[in-house]
Amino acid sequence: MGDTKKSKVRPLVHARPPVVAVLGHVDHGKTTLLDTIRKTNVVAGEHGGITQKIGAYQIKLKTQNSKLKTEEQFITFIDTPGHEAFAAMRARGAAAADIVILVVAADDSVKPQTVESIEQIKAAGIPMIVAVNKIDLPGANVDRVKQDLARAGVQVEGFGGQVPLLAISAKQGTGIAELLDLILLLGQMKELAADPKAPPAAIVVETMIDKGKGMVAVVIVKSGTLVSGSPLYDGVTHIGRVRAMFDEHGVAVPAAVPSKPVEVLGFSHLPTIGSILTTQPVEVTPQAAQTVTKTPISAPVDSIPDFLKPVAQQKEQKLTILLKADSMGSIEAILASLGDEVTIVESSIGDITEADVLLAKSSTSFVVGFNVKCTPSATKLAQTEKVIWRTYTIIYELIRELKEAVSGMKEVLIRERELGRGTIIAEFPFEKQRIAGTKILSGRLARGDTVRVLRKVEDQEKEIGMAKIKSIRRGKEASTKVEVGSDCGVLLDPAVDFAINDGIIAITTG
């Protein structure tokens, strides 16, 4: 007779792929690393490769087990915007991740945003891998990075600690395979597991409004299996039903298992970034609610962007902006990073339109956009109404310039400062006006800059005229700012009777 003892029923638990976030200082190679991993490890013929950026993606690796049999393993990467070096987005990325890769450039070492990332990782209590990138560059110094990391409180292996460190070149692909193997090893050590039959729960890593799809959220399933048709709750609030799900290849998926990133359609209300979506109402305790700490505003007055300098003279000492962005995640991160001295007239998703310009005009505001465009009609209206607008593709730069502007409102310097210098090398006619073809020799020139046009007469520079840059183009493309070493076309208002070889200098009194 067999054993008649009843065994205890245990939940069906399976190992799940690790979820990885990549953090670090701006321009240290986070985006390049993610792109290299994606291109190297996503089979090109599989659904046509990755055809859309949904904020997270999963790669497939072939490994050998202890019996030398080939197995397929997966890693999920949170593909947050590559250059956004600020605490709010980092905190969200870390909350959704099991492992964090801290990218530090071998030629630049530890920077302020590196330290900020370290603090976020430690606060989240997540295992860290240090990837020392750009080892192919002449100035690379891995030992210096180890020393600077130690000063920042990170003790790496071989330098008195246990944090693994790998030297890589994301550009050349050096060390990437070893990095992926280390991620899998850490995932196994953490014994990551989830019950696919448990009640579904998914964390929101991005939200947006798509013209064709409507309200969209990118989620990573944390437990259970999310299936099409399921109701969706953000806490106790019913916010929609899963109408469809798509992976990073643009392929519809009927179900998403733990660690799977998917784009979800079917919302009646957009969830907030970092919230946990469930298929049943769940009471959220105050302790479980996620908070984002606002970054204190501190910046040198001398670095105030010239286009925001007039704000310093406002009596209320308030910076007033109208904010447009590509997604709610970007808007939330920007708002969380700005101080209380910034007044937001309105924030919304989409390109800058004529309505935005008119609202900015009536409220005496600046229009600031992230990853959006200003429509041609809105551009023309802004010129007519003299409304200043700026667009950015790097949130770090947007945050920095706005913070510097707010800081400058407390004290306005009176000395003149040079922002950029160029030489006029050509002249082009444009609608009965003259475009100054300019080569930038130092600094930068930007739309809205106040400039002096100088001519060399008997070894002395004589001022020919003073004007503002009405528009600036790099090739055929309109631009907001052109940096040193580039050629551009500059339209001045009012017109200045310039000549070839005249100098053009952008100045500010701050």
Euclidean distance between CA atoms 86 and 485, whole angstroms: 29
Q: What tokens does 133 get?
A: 């990138």
Percent of the chain with pLDDT over 70: 81
Euclidean distance between CA atoms 396 and 339, whole angstroms: 15
Q: What tokens does 207 get?
A: 């939200």
**Lowest-confidence range among 25-34, 247-256, 289-298, 416-425?**
289-298
Nearest CA-CA partner of 95 in 121, 115, 67, 62: 121
Q: Is 114 or 69 the better-scoring residue by pLDDT?
A: 114
CB burial of 214-223 (b: ≥16 within 10 Å; e: otherwise) equals: ebbbbbbbbb
Residue 131: band (very low, low, confident or very high) from pLDDT cuts 50, 70, 90? very high
Q: Is 409 or 348 the better-scoring residue by pLDDT?
A: 348
Instruction: Give the pLDDT confidence score for residue 488 in this predicted structure.
Output: 94
Instruction: Give the pLDDT confidence score for residue 55 in this predicted structure.
Output: 74
Q: How many CB atoms lie within 10 A of CB 177?
A: 13
Provide the Cα torsion 458, 461, 467, 468; round to 10°: 130
CATH 2.40.30.10 fits 417-508, yes or no: yes
Residue 409: band (very low, low, confident or very high) from pLDDT cuts 50, 70, 90? low
Which of 3.40.50.150, 3.40.190.170, 3.40.50.10050, 3.30.70.260 would CATH assign to domain 301-408?
3.40.50.10050
Question: Where are the chain's structural domains?
Answer: 14-193, 201-282, 301-408, 417-508
Instruction: Give the pLDDT confidence score for residue 97 in this predicted structure.
Output: 86
Euclidean distance between CA atoms 32 and 38, whole angstroms: 10
- The mean pLDDT value of the chain amounts to 80
pLDDT tens track for 150-193:
999 999 998 888 999 999 999 999 999 999 999 999 999 999 98
Which residue spans within 224-260 are E strands per DSSP? 226-227, 231-234, 237-246, 255-256
CATH placement of domain 201-282: 2.40.30.10
pLDDT tens track for 212-236:
888 888 899 999 999 999 999 988 8
pLDDT tens track for 445-471:
988 888 989 998 877 788 888 888 989
Euclidean distance between CA atoms 160 and 152, whole angstroms: 14
Q: Do the domains 301-408 and 417-508 sit in the same CATH topology, yes or no?
A: no
Q: At what angle do helices 328-337 and 395-408 cross, to 10 degrees?
A: 30
CATH class in words for 14-193 = alpha beta
